[in-house]
Structure 1
Amino acid sequence: MWNQKISEENREKLLLAKNAFQKYTRQLEFEVSPEHLSTLHEQNDKTNPEKLAKMGGAKGLADILQSDLQMGLCNKESKSKFRDRKRHFAENRYKEPEFKGFWPLFKDTFDDPTLKILIVSAIVSLILGVTIEDPKTGWIEGTAILMAVLIVSFVTAINDYQKEMQFRELNKVKDNITCTVVREKEAEEFAGEGEKLAISIHDIVVGDIVVLETGSKVPADGILFYASELKVNESSMTGEINEITKTPEEDCWMISGTEVTQGEGKFIVTSVGKHSQWGKIMEKAKSKEEVNTPLQDKLEKMADQIGKLGLYSAILTVLVLLAKWGFKLYLKLNEGEKFVFHDLVEVVDAVIVGITIVVVAVPEGLPLAVTISLAYSMKKMMQDNNLVRKLESCETMGNATCICSDKTGTLTKNEMTVVEGYFFGEKYEQVPDCEKFDEKYMEIFVRSIALNSKAYFHYDELKKKDIVMGSKTEGALLIMLKKWEREFNEIREDEEQLITKCIPFSSKRKRMTTIIQDGNGYLVFCKGASEIVLDKCKNYIFEENKFILDQDKKNELKKVIHEMASTGKRTLCLAYRRVDSSLCDKDWFSNPDEIEKDLVLLSIVGIKDPVRDAVPQAVKDSKSAGVTVRMVTGDNIETAKHIAKECGIYSEGGLAMEGFDFRKMTDEERLKIIPNLQVLARSSPQDKLVLVKHLKEMGEIVGVTGDGTNDAPALKEANVGLSMGIAGTDVAKEASDIVILDDNFKSIVIAIMWGRSVYDNIRKFLQFQLTVNVVALATSLLAAISGVGLPLKAVQLLWVNLIMDTLAALALGTEPPTKELLKRRPYKKDASLLNGIMKRNIAAQSIYQLSVLLLILKFGGDFFGLDPLVAEEKLHLDCIVFNTFVLMQVFNEINCRKINDEPNILKGILNNYIFLVIWVGIISIQVIVIEFGGSFFATTHLNAFEWGVSLLLGFLSIPLGFVFRLIPAKGDPQ
């Protein structure tokens, strides 16, 4: 084994490590617990470097891990030995969410309580139908119900499967990430030397030496042992908004998932995969307990109420029938007749009637309507840049009352751009064409940007465009050169070797300076914070001359700087100077104050991350929809307030505050100020999490955006977590419910609109379904009690309850969203699924339909010239009842397209071709069922007059629906 030998020196180091960590695994073979090594990367260990020192620092770790800081791991090791490392320390892969195949997903669908009721009802109906009712036809009803269950389960499982596959497709991008490591070459002539290799991050093992450059992502946890002006953006993991300077002496802890923004370095890998900080956070992100959404809770409550109604009606019916049977039996026995087994047939019939009523009462189409509406919306939302990871988050988003949004990349374009500036002595409100400037100074200006910068462009194959790597501020200058069609890369390639000294930017100096050889002297390029660099300038350029920069002129320029800053722009001053080589001795090179004096001002630029074009209107739409938008950002408060004003988030009377002040407050104080809080600046991830928790305590339904790993807790805590598809980390996406593929706030508003459409579509179907069920239930109940027999046969009810309702679920569940959905406030969390308007519509239509059916049963014989006492004519009359019942539902389906007293029920109907096709299809199928159904459907041929009467009675549902809407009724509470 590769780990069998270990020196005495390393053995002592292991013992020291054991004392430091309290627990340390040490067996005959080489063993190091990755859990313990990973504790080096915890925050408290950053302030306690003694533990690392006891292990001998990075060199000691390399010895323990049988690696070499210069050569890396030996490629002579067999692949099996690398597998040993992966097996012992884990692979550098993060546990992906468990992916269930289609059949497990199909099996899970049967946990739905509504489906369970259907299955039990179907089995009982099947047994009774075959054994007692009629062995030849008694199987039809139970079998058909079981088929309905299979349809619902298959649709649900297929959509869940497609959802998982789509999300996995999105995450495939991460498999293409490569990194650079140093490993010892195999060839003997290169023994003792290490070479740089580009490998997949999944192939990194503990002990590898990873090379970092500007723009690199840190692929694992480790200890830094070499750095040159290395700065790392750790905001994705720690929430720190500033770049962190990394050195082997001070801050040597490298954290997976972070990004190098400047410089270069090398570190030795100590923790990978699940043991890294990234992996641990991802595990925590998966630990959220699943809870029902508001709609799920309401549907469960509704299903329970409907089930009880059906059960009570069935019990009442059975009791009445049993009472009638008991009275008849009493009279029979009183007359001296004997009890025979056949007398129990009526008891069995009563039980069958009761079960039939229960089956009729259960809304078979409801779970299918929910699935269809959610699945259809999910697919359409994908086209609107919303990848829905959890179907139920669609409807939850529709009831959102608050959105806590990041700024960068969501409200803004995440593209730092030079938008105005002071160039060569003149102020420009917009960046002018470079042809306006003297070429002599233009050449100096371009060189100053190209050489005094570490940023560069990288072509992203996925996005099909160049993206800035490194400092986004420096990137803004490069973008300006690109628009001017100036090739900075050629300048870098030609003159990079002329760079003599580079004084990097630091938060203390707030400027960066580069010195390059230029003939017999040197050129000094300086850029940085405008006020600081401006104070070091002696001259400025105007047209072809240099002018003295006196105090009056400096004051004028400081006013220009203030004007830019007050409008949310970051200002940057660029300057240069020529220095004769005779002045450049050793002391001069080591004295930045001497280097950076008597500068010539080239430009002061205003850099801005512009607000996305569609954001102000999207925020306005959100407000009209009753959704409060809050900006939660790490920016300083003045910039945040200005951007929030541009977006329409920050308004008069609103509150903007910093995370530091928010943090100091008590819970009671926070609850008082949160209703007016519009901007939370300089906020930490913990601030965002606390804000979300408080909002939920206040009864808000909260949506939260996030892109960093550190956003995962808030994303999981929110009712709907919205991660960014472009800038978002894998952890953020895993923690979220919806992935915004274009990182645009406008897409979030579209998600709200779709969510409301889902909720309304389900309510539309519920209004339709309950009308059908109430009428069918009441008709069956009254017919059973009156003793006239059930006019709607079991297979007919099946057609109504299953086939027609399934198609209605598809028709009403796919109504497209409209802008009108954003003109009302969200439904309250405790609002009933059925509002007063819907209850009125259901009651009014049910009364009309029930009255029609009872009148046909009572007087239809005389009206149509039929004798109910004759079996064939009774069948004919029942067929008219059945046909009229179905056609009333068909026309009422048009009424059900609107649930909030909208006067025009036909508005937008031509935009939903699915509804039109299904509506025509149902009528066509009904014609086939009536005319050709025969004994299977218990139907017979109807003449033109009978069809005309049925159609007229059905059509009357529409004008009567208009009349019914004039009856006052309460809508949803706002």
Structure 2
Amino acid sequence: MSQLPPNSELSAAYAAPAQQVVDRLGSSVESGLAESSIEQRRTQYGWNELAKAQPEPTWKKLLSQFKELVIWILIVAAILAGAMGEWVDTLAIMAIVVVNGILGFVQEERAGRALAALRAMSSPMAKTRRGGTVHSIPAKELVPGDIIQLDAGDNVPADARLIESFAVSVQEASLTGESVPGSKDAEAVLAEDTPLGDRENSVFMGTVLANGKATAVVTATGMQTELGNIAGMLGAADNEPTPLQRRLAELGRILVVVCLVLVGIIFAIEYARGGELLETLLVAVSLAVAAVPEGLPAVVTIALALGLQRMVKRNALVRKLPSVETLGSVTVICSDKTGTLTRNEMTVRELNVGEGKFKISGAGYLPRGEFQPIDRADTSVDPQDHPDLQQALAVAAHCNSASVVPGKHGKTWQVIGDPTEGALIVMAMKGGFDLDGASRRVVFEIPFDSDRKAMSVIMKQPDDSRIMYTKGAPEVILSKCTQELRNGQIAALTETRRQEIQQQNSDMAGRALRVLALAFRHDPQQVGEQYQESELIYVGSVGMIDPPREEVKSAVAECHGAGVRPVMITGDHPETALAIGRELAIASADCLAVTGADLDRMSKEELEQKVDQIAVYARVSAAHKLRVVNAWKQRGQVVAMTGDGVNDAPAIKAADIGIAMGVTGTDVTKEAADMVLTDDNFTSIVNAVREGRGIFDNIQKFVHYLLSCNAGEVMLMFAAAIIGFPVPLLAIQILWINLVTDGLPALALAMEPPEPDIMKRKPRPPKEPVITVQRGLLIFYHGFLIAAAALFGFWWAYENDPANTDVARSTAFAITAFAQLAYALVCRSHRYTLPELGPFSNPWLFAAFLVSGLLQLAVLTLPFASGVFDVVPLHTMPWIVVAILSLLPATVIELTKIAWHLMGINENTQTGKEKLIPNGNQ
């Protein structure tokens, strides 16, 4: 292949005719690039992506684990111990510091990989023509010379010279600062000194097609684009912490102050009682380190990343981490109808022919279903035995421009063409109609016209005669008919019969069915080259609808149980919207739909007063959707808004959680959204809300667990100092407990599946702190139980005899560690007991319990560890006491849950008397 032009020559593509630019790039408008040339171009021009900031070196990431103040205090204490000859303490403390740093590093790396995988899943796609076929490929794979196709709402994936443009305007504010979209013209040829904002024959990476559709040839990719030039001037911006991370950081600062005060008091008491300065200092510092959960941010990041991955598996891709905590607070879901609540697959439900009325089973494009007489719904008929049905199926199949093809494995089918015509073909296939039509061929077609509201096809019969098949609006088709088909016989269409047919059609339309009439005639009249749609024979009429998704009804019911209000906002007809709303229980039987015209007559204040009484909005525009979202927000509700078109973007951006459709959504909508549904299904929104609640629940659980354990250690040391006991835990023992109980169990709690009743609780207030007053008191109570168990064990073994200090410390050391591990099991829920949750529903937690427990057991029993951790072997009786006291806090907490349940105290649940939001269905 000849040498490709350098980037400098491509930069002025706007100054040459489009065909000349295509030729210069060695491409073809009709077939695009050959696959064999792609690699050479990528080698010369690189990937179509902006340069990323240099990743932080691994050694820097590792060192960042040691930047916390408490870690440096601990390192200083280890150095002091070494200076005073306590080398065992020095080595042990430093080993624990290093292991803790490595664990934190590994946790952050896992979180980083998880988030990188999520970013890769949300990478933009581009439509390009290669080898004569249109492909959808990741935008990063584009190269100069690629022929790309653009539609309204698409992000422009690279700089390109327009080849064809149809009413194209582009939003270029990101490059030019112009707030109004600029018109584009592929035919224009401009001077080389034309400024960027006036290059009307070119489109640029990072801009958005506001209107129209276009074909263009890529002229620059990656850092060679205009956007790349700007990106090269900018430094990498720091990542902003999420609101949750800021809240946890604030909590950490409070804990540091409180713990340092308590530790200072303990140090003063112990030193005043004659304790050795170094030992007292090490204990105080170690306690400060143990009391502050410095690994909390890493665990939170992992919890969020794991939760996001679970959401991806449930078809919800969350683009922004702060959205996770907002999801758990959603009170209103404003949903589009088509494709989200419904299948977006038109389905014929009823067929009226002659004297027969039939209901057709099956939904969507799967060609399986039965024809059941409406007055005998428990039976089915074979259309081949009914001449009227056969003729109706013939009109539906042949007066048609669509086709229905099977997907992979034949489990799903798709329509190529108009969905309404696809529904008619599926009906014909359900009736066993032969679609091959080998003995017939179309000789003329009168396409559908919005003025005529009809379509006709003239086909050649095997005997060379002609037959016209016609379908269209019932009133139009009836006006063209003079006869009808009844029981296989052609009869005159009387005025009485016309009124009966019109009433049947009105009844179907009243049930929100879209009605089409079917007709035919033999040997149609021809005037010149035109066939006349006159003197037709009426066959019957079909009623079709885009049916609700089967799983959505249960999802809507789940919303109601969770205190989340589903609202339908659609551009569809009010009758159709209401029918679907009532079928899904979004709206009650006597509820009315509010139209865009109704909204225009309402003031801002009036809408805010009535918004919680409206369940269905129909025939609304983008401005109406934005008004509805803002009205709900003014009522203090947390609103999720779904959409797919460019006109949905303002409302999606204004909502607390903007949700874009991944299949049908435009690039603009996806960019404005916080979450993208990969299957366009309302049920996935509800699943995401459930996961969002579960993620925040898990964060609260391991924060609760860490703080309770740390509070227990502080209370143990404080109580011993007040009573006058020797220090019950040495510095190295405190650090070991902090390492063995705070690491794996806390991480495993982040993997806890959502509790069974999580969607039966009222939504969490969005500004609720991680630690509420109620939870703070519970943390204090649980910490007290752990401290009391360890202190009692110490007292039992000590017997007021200084000679028993080592045995007492070893006993307290064992009880504190094992009690915290047992406590992790009951921290899975503050309502459900362990048997109710299922002992092995979180296998990660039990694995963490076993690993950490074995490590603690090894420290207490292996000879080489006794010198490092200052422990002595425990005999049979102390081990029995350790076992009983270690299980005591968890047992008391489990019994408390049972007592709460018996007394009807259900924390964080919505009782039957509570009503969060008026249901709007009155």
Task: Give the alignment's TM-score, normalised by structure 1.
Answer: 0.73
Report the CA distance between 1:358 and its aligned residue. Answer: 2.3
* 2:513 equivalent to 1:566: no
Alignment correspondent of 2:251: 302
Query: Which one of 457, 476, 500 corresponds to residue 423 of structure 2?
Result: 476
Q: Which moved more, 1:694-703 or 1:934-943?
A: 694-703
* 2:707 equivalent to 1:770: yes
* 2:347 equivalent to 1:410: no
Q: Is the 8 A contact 1:401 1:627 kept in 2?
A: yes
Query: Which one of 484, 490, 496 corresponds to residue 540 of structure 1?
Result: 484
* 2:597 equivalent to 1:597: no
Query: Which one of 744, 752, 755 corresponds to residue 807 of structure 1?
Result: 744
Q: Is the 8 A contact 1:418 1:608 kept in 2?
A: yes
Q: Distance in 2 between matches of 1:665 and 1:84?
A: 61
Q: Is the 8 A contact 1:223 1:268 kept in 2?
A: yes
* 2:801 equivalent to 1:867: yes
* 2:471 equivalent to 1:524: no
Alignment of 1:30-109 (within 5 A): 31=12
Instruction: Tell me the matched-pair count.
Output: 837
Q: Distance in 1 between matches of 2:353 and 2:654?
A: 49
Please list the CA deviations of residues 813-849 of structure 1 after superposition, one character each: whole Å capped at 9, or x if unmatched.
Answer: 3332243111111111222333455334333333344
Q: Is the 8 A contact 1:209 1:266 kept in 2?
A: no
Q: Distance in 1 between matches of 2:314 and 2:631?
A: 31
CA distance 1:205–1:874, change in 2 (3 Å): closer
Q: Distance in 1 between matches of 2:386 and 2:54?
A: 65
Counterpart secondary structure, 1:429: strand
Please list the CA deviations of residues 560-605 of structure 1 after superposition, one character each: whole Å capped at 9, or x if unmatched.
Answer: 2222222222111122223356x5335x55xxxxx22222122311
Alignment correspondent of 1:826: 763
* 2:871 equivalent to 1:939: yes
Counterpart secondary structure, 2:615: strand
The answer for unaligned runs of 5 or more in structure 2 is: 171-186, 188-199, 362-369, 372-380, 911-922
CA distance 1:938–1:696, change in 2 (3 Å): farther
CA distance 1:695–1:148, change in 2 (3 Å): farther
Counterpart secondary structure, 2:360: coil
The amino acid of 1:510's aligned partner reads K
* 2:821 equivalent to 1:890: yes
Alignment of 1:280-359 (within 5 A): 295-317=244-266, 324=272, 352-359=282-289
Q: Is the 8 A contact 2:861 2:873 kept in 1?
A: yes
Q: Is the 8 A contact 2:114 2:306 kept in 1?
A: no
Report the CA distance between 1:552 and its aligned residue. Answer: 1.9
Counterpart secondary structure, 1:918: helix
Alignment of 1:842-857 (within 5 A): 842-857=779-794
Counterpart secondary structure, 1:419: strand
Q: Distance in 1 between matches of 2:753 and 2:9?
A: 68
* 2:447 equivalent to 1:503: yes
Q: Is the 8 A contact 2:147 2:217 kept in 1?
A: no
The amino acid of 1:955's aligned partner reads L
The amino acid of 1:952's aligned partner reads I
Q: Is the 8 A contact 1:418 1:480 kept in 2?
A: yes
Q: Distance in 2 between matches of 1:841 and 1:154?
A: 31
The amino acid of 2:456's aligned partner reads T
Q: Is the 8 A contact 2:70 2:288 kept in 1?
A: no
Query: Which one of 706, 716, 722 corresponds to residue 643 of structure 2?
Result: 706
Alignment correspondent of 1:644: 581
CA distance 1:253–1:568, change in 2 (3 Å): farther
Please list the CA deviations of residues 500-532 of structure 1 after superposition, one character each: whole Å capped at 9, or x if unmatched.
Answer: 2433332x3332233345566643322222232
CA distance 1:503–1:28, change in 2 (3 Å): closer
Counterpart secondary structure, 1:703: strand
CA distance 1:931–1:705, change in 2 (3 Å): same
Q: Distance in 2 between matches of 1:100 and 1:794?
A: 42
Report the CA distance between 1:545 and its aligned residue. Answer: 0.7
Answer 1 or 2: which has greater helix percent. 1
CA distance 1:665–1:652, change in 2 (3 Å): same
Report the CA distance between 1:359 and its aligned residue. Answer: 0.7
Query: Which one of 863, 884, 888 corresponds to residue 956 of structure 1?
Result: 888
Alignment correspondent of 1:41: none
The amino acid of 1:299's aligned partner reads L
Report the CA distance between 1:80 and its aligned residue. Answer: 14
Q: Distance in 2 between matches of 1:76 and 1:628?
A: 49
Q: Which moved more, 1:655-664 or 1:789-798?
A: 655-664
The amino acid of 1:429's aligned partner reads K
Q: Distance in 2 between matches of 1:463 and 1:938?
A: 69
Q: Is the 8 A contact 1:171 1:730 kept in 2?
A: no
Alignment of 1:647-686 (within 5 A): 647-651=584-588, 656-662=593-599, 665-686=602-623
Q: Distance in 2 between matches of 1:663 and 1:83?
A: 56
CA distance 1:350–1:915, change in 2 (3 Å): closer
Query: Which one of 806, 811, 817 corresponds to residue 880 of structure 1?
Result: 811
Counterpart secondary structure, 2:476: helix
Q: Is the 8 A contact 1:515 1:523 kept in 2?
A: yes
Please list the CA deviations of residues 77-103 of structure 1 after superposition, one character each: whole Å capped at 9, or x if unmatched.
Answer: 999999999999x99x9868x878986
CA distance 1:791–1:671, change in 2 (3 Å): same
Q: Distance in 2 between matches of 1:381 and 1:915?
A: 21
Cα RMSD, aligned residues only:
5.2
- Bigger Rg, which one: 1
Alignment correspondent of 1:791: 728
Please list the CA deviations of residues 440-479 of structure 1 after superposition, one character each: whole Å capped at 9, or x if unmatched.
Answer: 7667545533443222235556997431122111111122
CA distance 1:385–1:267, change in 2 (3 Å): closer
CA distance 1:827–1:62, change in 2 (3 Å): closer
Q: Distance in 1 between matches of 2:214 and 2:682?
A: 38
CA distance 1:501–1:454, change in 2 (3 Å): closer
Q: Distance in 2 between matches of 1:199 and 1:923?
A: 55
Counterpart secondary structure, 2:855: helix
The amino acid of 1:483's aligned partner reads K
Q: Distance in 2 between matches of 1:167 and 1:648?
A: 36
Q: Distance in 2 between matches of 1:785 and 1:737?
A: 53
CA distance 1:304–1:675, change in 2 (3 Å): farther
Q: Distance in 2 between matches of 1:79 and 1:613?
A: 43
* 2:363 equivalent to 1:426: no
Q: Distance in 1 between matches of 2:886 and 2:150?
A: 75
Query: Which one of 360, 363, 366 corresponds to residue 290 of structure 2?
Result: 360
Q: Distance in 2 between matches of 1:103 and 1:778?
A: 40
Report the CA distance between 1:625 and its aligned residue. Answer: 0.5
The amino acid of 2:878's aligned partner reads E
CA distance 1:527–1:313, change in 2 (3 Å): same
Q: Is the 8 A contact 1:115 1:149 kept in 2?
A: no
The amino acid of 2:472's aligned partner reads G
Q: Is the 8 A contact 1:118 1:359 kept in 2?
A: yes
Counterpart secondary structure, 1:919: helix
Alignment correspondent of 2:697: 760
CA distance 1:463–1:414, change in 2 (3 Å): farther
Q: Distance in 1 between matches of 2:149 and 2:771?
A: 62
Alignment correspondent of 1:187: none
Q: Distance in 1 between matches of 2:711 and 2:591?
A: 50
Counterpart secondary structure, 1:648: coil
* 2:119 equivalent to 1:159: no
CA distance 1:146–1:707, change in 2 (3 Å): farther
